[in-house]
Amino acid sequence: MQDTALNVVVMAAGKGTRMKSALPKVLHKLAGRSLIQHVLDAAVPLAATRTIVITGHGAEQVEAASATNGAVFVRQMPQLGTGHAVQQAVPALPEETGTTLILNGDVPLVRTETLRALLAASAGERLALLTVTLVNPAGYGRIVRTGDQAGGHVRAIVEHKDASHAQLAIHEVYTGILAAPTAALKRWVMALQDNNAQREFYLTDIVAMAVAEGLAVTSAQAGSETEVLGVNSPHQLAELERRHQADIANALMDAGVRLADPARLDVRGSLVCGRDVEIDVNCVFEGTVTLADNVKVGANCVIRGASVGAGAVIHPFTHIEGAQVGPGALVGPFARLRPGAVLGEEVHIGNFVEVKNSTLAKGAKANHLAYLGDATVGERVNFGAGSITANYDGANKHRTVIGNDVHVGSNCVLVAPITLGDGATIGGGSTLSKDAPAGQLTVARAKQVNLPGWTRPRKLAR
């Protein structure tokens, strides 16, 4: 029976030479999160007693990026193999009972369900290896079993270069992830030797130790190759990104979302869609994004941390961040909604309009070349082309309040703080620094001057 004490050890000390980057390998991003963050997030539901991250190359950066998960850090200096890495974690594993789960910080897509199955296979009593069956197992360590290869206990992990002809025909391979009784694991790793050509301590050598002790070595199978693939190069990172995005796209389509091209979608967070949602090509969704029923998103949009109400249309090349779009709203093309933008029902935000920290009530419109910052806009307002709220005085932000049914003409400047009363009309080209009364026309323009006989300056002759 598995003890309740669970330790999770994440190996994250490698340099990642083939990444050819100053950034530690485990901090490179996949679907908007670092590789190691994916791994730590997969382990969170397991409710481990302790999470230990083994760092080395770029230790300070890795530890800073992982600190929010409440992990304990140990350092592997120098890096002398996987077994040597786990040796560094032994002092932080005081329990003599329970289970320790070993994960790799560069294997980002392992699923929590798979880890649960591996822990169940170990049950705090057995060494359990996570394996996967590959069509092409070249380069991987083969799982050699006793008796029937399909159902016997694991007897050894044989590296590809050391495998016999018969062993090369085995398609079940070791993924680098295992679970073991904590006490036994501590005993085994401290007994590892570096008597090999690389002079490194290999964690896989503990399989032979367990077999020699008569302890059962069992396994759990990963659901797919994708969830146990590691990242060692930009090519592998890009390939895994595409695999992951393909899985997301398939899940969305299974739920009824219409994707114009599943290969041209990037979800870097969580995308929740209602019924009859349509998404065109080259759209990027970051953070938590919610699209309600019948939402249509045009091509080349970037939506981050936002919600879009039922029936809204987001036209192409629109950027939305930290905003709420109401039902039936029309946004874009080439519009930008910044944090704090809240659009009510049937609001229209047109091309080259920017909205920041502003609320627009039902039916308000800003259709062309406008800026609304720190504004409260009433119902049915029409905000003209080229008009802006001048909300910043160089030190502080100020608010503009626009009542219901206000019409703001083109090329107006509203110098905040300012209030436009219900039904006010602002003549085009006006610059207002005082409140505009409700129901009246307000015009604030410089007097037009015509100069007879004036001529343009001419270039001097050379």
CA dist 421 and 408 (Å) reads 12
- Tell me the one-letter amino acid at 162: D
CA dist 237 and 107 (Å) reads 10
Q: Please enumerate in sequence order all residues whose Cβ is within 8 A of that of 296, keeping only pairs 6 or more positions apart, or say none.
A: 277, 278, 312, 313, 314
Q: How do strand 127-133 and strand 172-181 relate by DSSP bridges?
A: antiparallel
Whether 25 contacts 106, CB under 8 Å: yes
Please give the structure tokens belonging to residue 413.
């400047």
Q: Which of 171, 368, 398, 407 is catalytic?
A: 368
Q: Please enumerate in sequence order all residues whose Cβ is within 8 A of that of 183, keeping only pairs 6 or more positions apart, or say none.
A: 95, 96, 97
Site of tokens 């933008």: 341
CB burial string 28-55: b at 16+ within 10 A, e below:
bebbeebbbbbbbebbeeeebebbbbbb
Please give the structure tokens belonging to residue 76.
């592997």
CB burial string 142-170: b at 16+ within 10 A, e below:
bbbbeeebeeeebbbbbeeeebeeebeeb
Q: Name the packing angle between helices 206-213 and 182-190 (round to 10°).
A: 120
DSSP secondary structure letters along 229-276? ----SHHHHHHHHHHHHHHHHHHHHHTT-EES-TTSEEEEEEEEE-TT
CA dist 73 and 96 (Å) reads 20
For the chain, the helix, strand and coil percentages under 3-state DSSP, each to the nearest 5: 20, 30, 45
DSSP secondary structure letters along 55-85? EBTBHHHHHHHHGGGT-EEEE-SS---HHHH
Establish whether 165 is a catalytic residue: no
CB burial string 92-127: b at 16+ within 10 A, e below:
ebebeebbbbbbbbbbbbbeeebbebbbebbbbbbb
Known catalytic residues are 368
